[in-house]
Structure 1
Amino acid sequence: MIRFLAAVFSVVLLSPAWADVDIKAVETPGGITAWLVEDHSIPFMALELRFRGGTSLDDVNAQGATNLMAGLLEEGAGDLDAREFARSLESLAASIRFDSSDDDVSISARFLSENRDEAAALLKLALTQPRFDADAIERVRQQVLSGLRSDAQDPNDIAGITFSAMAYGDHPYGRSGKGTVDSVAALTREDLQAAHLGALARDRLYVGAVGDITAEELGVFLDDLLGDLPETGAPIPGPAQVTLSGGVTVVPYDTPQSVALFGHIGIERDDEDFFAAFVMNHILGGGGFESRLMTEVREKRGLTYGVYSYLLPKDLAAVYMGSVASANNRVAEAVEVIKAEWARMATEGVTAEELDAAKTYLTGAYPLRFDGHGQIASIMTAMQMQGLGLDYITTRNDKVNAVTLEDISRVAERVLQPENLRFVVVGQPEGLPVATE
């Protein structure tokens, strides 16, 4: 059975999914909305569940509770302890993965059609009756604590935590979703039970399903699986105010190479100029070796192996960010080059050749994302959370191709703020002018 499932995964990954994505909106008898792509070519189904809120729901006195809770959902449920739950799942050749982020708790499930009901019964137990046994809590807690201690020694994680605290202040985004060593060590079973009830509720649920199931069957399936969840969960925090201003923040760390994150306030995903900003960023720093930042910082000056920029529109705030790593005695030059390119893009826009190349890449690479049932299910839930329509997959490339040079010039002037570009540098950088906080 397990070998057969592996073969199914292989077939799914190789199928021409891009051409077959026909999304249907399904409303279950119990009022749950889901998006479905039917595919009866193989007896297999992928299910993606996302609950908006994620680790941003954590109380300031229980930081890390949602992350730890998500890690415990597969550690026993109902009458099954952790070992029995794992064995039952394995016997069905099924997989269930739980994860959390700032904005959601996600559940990814994969199972054969013949085992659909049994796999769903296990998933329902995990969602509605997690055991939170003392031994499981301590085992997973120690795993999280080990990761936090490792993060505290990682320049990239140090930069990320520092940047988030500066960008978002007292908002939950300004804290690590994993919590701190002290906060995770202090979490109680009651904290985890509260996090479970607060996070996994129907008022923040998004569902994507792909595979061997009809719309009618999916309606019954989802009502049985999710109907016992609480109707409402913990209040989702309000928007975060991005508080970044221009300058450099240095976090001393004994390493021969400095790591830097940089950014300022960004653009929301539902902004009418988002696609123009998306294409612009590809040219500036999102396009790998073809981007301006890579050309100027790496190719021409040899200051780094890699430099990137990216739009990060979270649910409750949007930032425009980038990253670079360079030797301590050269990172100051890298910072100056990045600032100069940020300013040049803001004032000069892009060339016709750059725009054409970006469109060719972005439209050509998009179909490659649809490389299997699970990936399509994940994309569909993200589309729902971002408020995109059922036809987004078929119209997305049209939106990219519609971007003009004038659009990018307007958006570059609007979105790029070189004067507010904040750098957080972790290492022992030489020659950086450090702004007064």
Structure 2
Amino acid sequence: MSERNGLRYGLLGLSLLVLLAVLVFFVSRPVQAPTEPTAAAPVAAVKTPDHLESLAALEGQAPSHRTINIQTWKTAEGAKVLFVEAHELPMFDLRLTFAAGSSQDGDTPGLAMMTNAMLNEGVAGKDVSAIAAGFEDLGADFGNGAYRDMGVASLRSLTAADKREPALKLFADVIGKPTFPADSLVRIKNQVLAGFEYQKQNPGRLAGLELFKRLYGDHPYAHSSDGTAKSIPGITIAQMQAFHHKAYAAGNTVIALVGDLSRAEAEAMTAQVSAALPKGPALPKTVAPQEPKAGATHIEFPSKQTTLMLAQLGIDRAEPDYAALFLGNQILGGGGFGTRLMDQVREKRGLTYGISSGFTAMQARGPFMISLQTRAEQSEGALKLVQDILRDYLANGPTQKEVDDAKRELAGSFPLSTASNGDIVAQLGAIGFYDLSLSYLEDFMQQVQALDVATVKAAMAKHLNADNLVIVTAGPTVEQKPLPPPTDHPAEPALGVPEH
């Protein structure tokens, strides 16, 4: 026996002994008395044995998850509030979601992003460094970002009054009374313009920008949330002030709050934040996009790999088929390893490092997209293979086993979506912004578990068409090679990490 094998077997034996000792400990240790149920930590509905005698004891039991009691009201200024008491930690998470994304840019692409980025650059008596130091000294964390539908600002802080009150006051000043200092504007513009230069070296980014132009045409979703190299230099402080006054108004805001707070404390906090914002109503929702013309566009790019993106208009967030489409896509390409696309394109042919599909549901119809990178000389064959897989899936639907496996996987992973206060506050923000029911989290899993093969097949076929795809590729024009036949042991391993 070689030294390497001897060490390997020795370690294996040691691992087995440790595992056996751990099992003996957990099976034989006394059961602790359960704690009294509270609103924040209810007793699980399913009772488990005093100790685990067999894995079979878990069969058929739903995974435990936090019961979330969402309280809701409106502030005097019209902001919608969603609040969850969570007393496990002496902290709170506050998240404001504004209908202030790039879909509100109008004729100035990037205006929403620049306004959001400048929020914490200056307030009366404080520059960006003083603001950052103010949050840091209190042990608080400020965050912000802008996307196509929304702009967000968030605060995490301790709930002790001597930390909470100054942190909340600074937060209210930052989101309600930013000064948009000129020196910060110059710096952020330069950073954004440098990012545009970097994008020129990223075939995936170039393909994505072109894809949205093709999908959305003149619709507000067509341009990037970052704006363009032509639009950013001309954005003025006056434009950002006007955008802030309109889009960061209290009536255009959803306030989500989770933490170690009473209802009275939550009402006082949200009233303070709401009063700090400009006064104004909710902005109109984004208009519906027109159906794009199907077809392919190629971007010539010097590379060993070709980026492939296939897309069509998908669904908005209010779509009744959302649960069926979510589950159907998990089987097609949204669930990582084990999906049809990963199995056929990577595992059986080694054509890519990774391939995925997904619906992005927004206020208006967001994209359904399949994306991958593959060897340039096999890009045409890979594209046809992906189209054939999608066409077959839409025609024949998933198998019963695929549906059962996907349900089981979602049931196991879904509790992670509310595992922390930060996770919950993000969920609350989405529920409020997209006008979902307060019972959405429970309803979604019930809807998923009630799905059958026929329902999933019908929903996917209703919303997708393999012959109606907008396709964008970015890579070199090279002589093409035939694809290898499918096998459990591809001659060539899966392609390396995608190029950026």
TM-score past 0.5 threshold = yes
Q: Deviations over 1:170-199 (max 9, x none)?
A: 112111111112211121111221221222
Equivalent-residue separation in structure 1 for 2:288 and 2:211 (angstroms):
14
SS of structure 2 residue aligned to 1:103 = coil
What is the CA–CA distance in structure 2 between the aligned matches of 1:113 and 1:241, rounded to whole Å?
Answer: 44
1:51 aligns with 2:98: yes
The count of aligned residue pairs is 416
Partner of 1:93: 139
Work out which of the residue numbers 343, 365, 370 in structure 2 matches 1:322.
370
Q: Does the alignment pair 1:204 with 2:252?
A: yes
Amino acid at match of 2:236: T
Structure 2 residue matching 1:18: 3-state secondary structure:
coil
One-letter code aligned to 1:317:
R
Unaligned runs of 5+ in 2: 1-43, 45-63, 481-500
Quote the residue 2:448 is aligned against. Answer: 400
Q: 1:304/1:187 Cα in 2 relative to 1: closer, same or farther (>3 Å)?
A: same
C-alpha distance in 2 between matches for 1:186 and 1:33: 34
What are the within-5 Å matches in structure 2 for residues 38-437 of structure 1?
38-60=85-107, 62-114=108-160, 115-232=163-280, 235-236=283-284, 238-430=286-478
SS across alignment from 2:359: strand
CA contact (8 A) 1:40 1:212 kept: yes
Question: 1:31 Cα shift?
Answer: 4.5
1:36 matches 2:83: yes
1:12 matched residue in structure 2: none
Deviation of 1:430 (Å): 4.2
What amino acid does structure 1 have at the position aligned with 2:116?
A
Against the structure 1 CA distance between its residues 55 and 92, is the aligned structure 2 distance closer, same or farther, given a 3 Å change threshold? same
Larger deviation, residues 343-352 vs 36-45 = 36-45
Structure 1 range deviating more: 344-353 or 51-60: 51-60
Provide the secondary structure at the position in 2 that maps to 1:420.
coil
In structure 1, how many angstroms separate the alpha carbons of the residues matched to 2:444 and 2:375?
Answer: 40
TM-align CA RMSD: 1.9
Q: 1:19 aligns with which of 66, 70, 86?
A: 66
Contact 2:176 2:278 in 1 (8 A): no
CA 1:29 to 1:134, structure 2 compared with 1: closer, same or farther past 3 Å?
closer
1:11 aligned residue? none
Identify the residue that residue 35 of structure 2 maps to in structure 1: none
Q: Quote the offset at 1:431 in angstroms.
A: 6.5
- Paired with 2:286 and 2:86, the residues of 1 have a C-alpha distance of 39
Alpha-carbon contact 1:239-1:317 (below 8 Å) kept: no
Q: Is the 8 A contact 1:53 1:236 kept in 2?
A: no
Letter in 2 for 1:135: D
Larger radius of gyration: 2
- Could you tell me how far apart the structure 1 residues matched to 2:242 and 2:422 are? 30
1:412, distance to aligned residue in structure 2 (A): 2.6
CA contact (8 A) 1:57 1:234 kept: no
1:206 match: secondary structure? strand
SS at match of 1:323: strand
SS in 1 for 2:178: coil
Give 2:69's aligned amino acid. D
Name the structure, 1 or 2, with higher relative contact order (CA <8 Å, separation 6+). Answer: 1
Work out the CA distance in 1 between the residues paired with 2:223 and 2:285: 13
Q: Secondary structure at the match of 1:355?
A: helix
Q: Deviations over 1:22-58 (max 9, x none)?
A: 2222344555331111122322110011001311111
- Counterpart Cα distance in 2 of 1:185 and 1:33: 35
Is the deviation greater in 46-55 or in 314-323? 314-323
Cα shift at 1:318: 2.8
